[in-house]
């Protein structure tokens, strides 16, 4: 199958444009969808054009949704070390988790903010391209045994690198645990705190009217090519308050023109100078 032709059909008949993703990962995943559904090329094209539910599932299947509670645990103390002085001085602040997957990053952040006594001041927004991931983020429902390991790993890091005095967290304050079903569910006060929306970063427009103090976009842009990455950096720069911070994944780094518009401070990219944007 001509992969580029397929992405063009997808773009022409659905809201989704994957043509500026790095080829390999999408290609491999698309091949798996075709094999798993036992589809001929004609069937794939017909479903892409006529079957909305198939397309939504396809989007979920060809994007990478891997995430964890307190993913890269050593990064979290580092985030707050740099962010805390600025956040403490604010009456309110806005945080956007772009590419939130099932929401584990969002709940991790809210838990720490709550431990620091800052959650009440925070407005938390989260978006993902996949409707399925948006539902999961709203539900805040995860496997228990697997995630227990993550929570323990995070606590181990906290002992070495406490965040403003926090070296232990009572996770039963934040999750209801069902041992029989091997499930944890984020408590209602956390689930209600976050506004979760389906949103495609490729559209290059913010889904919210406000500006942000912090934008988390970890392990998302790594799947985009340099041209698309640059457009998203531009949008984030526009959506951040002066001195607002962008947080990328631990294996990602800002390259290209926008490197000059953010100053790296530990794991954060802090918006430096405002400049004039073209109106679209």
Ligand X SMILES: C[S@@+](CC[C@H](N)C(=O)[O-])C[C@H]1O[C@@H](n2cnc3c(N)ncnc32)[C@H](O)[C@@H]1O
- The contact set with ligand X (CB under 6 A) reads 63-67, 71, 99-101, 105, 128-130, 133, 200-202, 218-220, 249
Minimum distance from residue 232 beta carbon to ligand X (Å)? 9
The C-alpha atoms of residue 136 and residue 126 are separated, in whole angstroms, by: 12
Residue nearer to ligand X on the CB measure, 63 or 206: 63
Minimum distance from residue 104 beta carbon to ligand X (Å)? 6
For residue 192, the Cα-to-chain-centroid distance in whole angstroms is: 18
Count the Cβ atoms, other than its own, within 10 Å of residue 193.
19
Residue nearer to ligand X on the CB measure, 11 or 164: 11
Minimum distance from residue 8 beta carbon to ligand X (Å)? 17
CA atoms within 13 A on the CB side of 29: 18
Asked if 176 contacts 184 with a C-beta cutoff of 8 angstroms, the reply is yes
Residue nearer to ligand X on the CB measure, 232 or 274: 232
Minimum distance from residue 222 beta carbon to ligand X (Å)? 8
Q: Which of 177, 176, 194 lies closest to 114, judged by CA? A: 194
Minimum distance from residue 274 beta carbon to ligand X (Å)? 25
Q: Which of 171, 167, 168 lies closest to 190, judged by CA? A: 171
118-146 exposure pattern, b = at least 16 Cβ within 10 A, e = fewer: bbeebbbbbbbbbebbbebbbebbbebee
Strands 122-128 and 194-198: parallel
Output the six-digit token pair for 218.
């970890």
Residue nearer to ligand X on the CB measure, 22 or 164: 22
Residue nearer to ligand X on the CB measure, 48 or 101: 101
Residue nearer to ligand X on the CB measure, 164 or 235: 235
Minimum distance from residue 126 beta carbon to ligand X (Å)? 9
Q: Which of 207, 251, 202, 250 lies closest to 230, judged by CA? A: 202
């Amino acid at each position: 199958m001509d992969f580029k032709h397929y992405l063009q059909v997808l773009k022409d008949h659905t809201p989704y444009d994957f043509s500026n993703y790095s080829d390999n990962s999408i290609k491999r995943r698309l091949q798996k969808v075709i094999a798993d559904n036992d589809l001929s090329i004609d069937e794939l094209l017909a479903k892409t054009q006529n079957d909305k539910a198939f397309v939504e599932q396809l989007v979920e299947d060809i994007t990478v949704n891997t995430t964890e509670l307190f993913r890269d645990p050593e990064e979290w103390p580092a985030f707050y070390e740099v962010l805390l002085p600025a956040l403490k001085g604010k009456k309110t602040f806005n945080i956007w988790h772009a590419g939130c997957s099932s929401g584990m990053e969002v709940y991790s952040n809210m838990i720490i903010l709550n431990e620091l006594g800052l959650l009440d001041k925070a407005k938390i927004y989260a978006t993902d391209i996949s409707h399925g991931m948006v539902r999961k983020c709203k539900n805040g429902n995860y496997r228990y045994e697997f995630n227990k390991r993550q929570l323990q790993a995070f606590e181990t890091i906290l002992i070495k690198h406490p965040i403003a005095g926090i070296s232990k967290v009572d996770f039963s304050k934040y999750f209801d645990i069902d041992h029989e079903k091997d499930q944890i569910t984020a408590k209602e006060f956390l689930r209600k705190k976050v506004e979760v929306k389906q949103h495609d970063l490729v559209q290059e427009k913010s889904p919210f009217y406000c500006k942000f103090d912090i934008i988390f976009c970890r392990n998302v842009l790594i799947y985009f090519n340099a041209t698309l990455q640059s457009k998203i950096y531009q949008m984030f720069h526009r959506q951040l308050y002066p001195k607002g911070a962008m947080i990328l994944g631990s294996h990602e780094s800002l390259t290209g023109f926008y490197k000059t518009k953010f100053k790296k401070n530990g794991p954060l990219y802090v918006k430096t100078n405002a400049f004039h944007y073209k109106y679209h």
